[in-house]
Amino acid sequence: MGRGYSIVCVGDRKVLGDVINGFLKDGKRYGRSCDVLRVGENNFFFTDDYAGVVYFVYRSRAASEVIREL
């Protein structure tokens, strides 16, 4: 996979896993994440320079409750 086609979580200088992916599938480009701006503990904006849009991502209460149960 090329650069810019997923957003990953990084900790302790290593990639922990994908947060968002799917911008490139079967060689077809659907978007390309560019910049990330964290605006809270569980919220961030990211830009898609292919589509020319800004997305806001947040963790829902339901997801937070599931994570606490793990």
- Residue 20 pairs in a beta bridge with 7
Per-residue pLDDT reduced to its tens digit, 2-52: 677 888 888 888 888 888 888 888 989 988 888 999 998 889 999 998 889
The C-alpha atoms of residue 58 and residue 50 are separated, in whole angstroms, by 22
Residue 53 structure tokens: 């849009």
Per-residue pLDDT reduced to its tens digit, 39-60: 988 899 999 988 899 999 988 7
Answer yes or no: are the C-beta atoms of 23 and 5 closer than 8 Å. Answer: yes
pTM: 0.70
* Among 1, 7, 10, CA closest to 47: 7
